[in-house]
Amino acid sequence: MLALYDTHKNMVYRLALSFLKSVPDAEDAVQQVFLRLLEYRGTIAPGKERAWLAAVTANLCRDMLRAANRRRTEPLTEDIAFETPEESDVFRSVMELSDNERAAVYLYYYEGWSTAETAKILGLSQTAVTSRLDRARRHLRGKLEEVRYG
């Protein structure tokens, strides 16, 4: 259990942060996800833990967003100190995307999941993931140009 936690805790945290845009809420999500893992670990096929955790995280975060009446938080980047302004700009631009776009960008570009795998984790069709990634790319390109030349 500890090994799984240590291996996947930051993946879960980053995905939760992508959805929730709140450090405290993302930390709560990590706790709840691993508590669920503790409860259901006997039912998870070996090697499936990472995908299981990602899917549970995505669904839990949606629940939290609904429970919070779609409360929106203050800009997250002020809570996180990045090493360079460019990193901060990129992250802020990602955070400006919609919930599912942020999550898709994280899962696809950072975690390296395919669009099919990302779709399964997010409960979306592959087409929906592809279109979200496309929208995200267009948004990020525009935003980063603003940062660079604005």
Partner 1 sequence: MAKEFKTAYDQLTLSPAADERIRAALAAAQKQGGKIIELRPGQSPAKKTRRISLTVLITAAVVLALSITAYAIGAHAGFFDTVFGDTGVDSRSAYQALADPDKPGGEIVTVPAYQREPVDQEKAEELVGAQVTDIRKSFTMEGVTFTAESLVADENGIGALTFTMSCPDGFPRMEGYEGQMYNMLQIDESRGWIAASPYLRLAGDDAYINSHIYLDSAASTERSKHLTAYFYCPMELQPGDTLELVMTEYLYNGKEHAYTDPYTGEERTEQDVDTTEEYISFRVEDLVPAVLFTAQDGHTASVSPMGVVLDDWYDGLHEMTLTYADGSVYTVRGRDVHNTQFGQLTAPDDFGAPGIEHEEDDDGDGVTDAIWTEYPRDDPAYEGMWRTMYVFNRLVEPETVVSVYTSGGTGYDGERQPERIFTR
Contacts with partner 1 by CB under 8 A lie at 1-2, 5, 9-10, 13-14, 17, 23, 27-28, 30-32, 34-36, 38-40, 42-45, 48, 51-52, 55-56, 59, 62-63, 66-70, 72, 80, 82-84, 86-91, 94, 96-100, 106, 109-110, 116, 119-120, 123-128, 131, 140, 144
Q: Compute the least distance from the CB of residue 13 to partner 1, in Å.
A: 5
Q: Compute the least distance from the CB of residue 27 to partner 1, in Å.
A: 4
- Phi and psi dihedrals of 97, rounded to 5? -75, 170
Q: Compute the least distance from the CB of residue 82 to partner 1, in Å.
A: 6
Q: Could you give the CA distance from residue 42 to residue 85 in angstroms, rounded to a whole number?
A: 44
DSSP annotation of 74: S
**Letter for the amino acid at 138?**
R
CA neighbor of 54 nearest in space, from 14, 27, 24: 14
- C-alpha 30: how far from chain center: 12
Q: Compute the least distance from the CB of residue 120 to partner 1, in Å.
A: 7
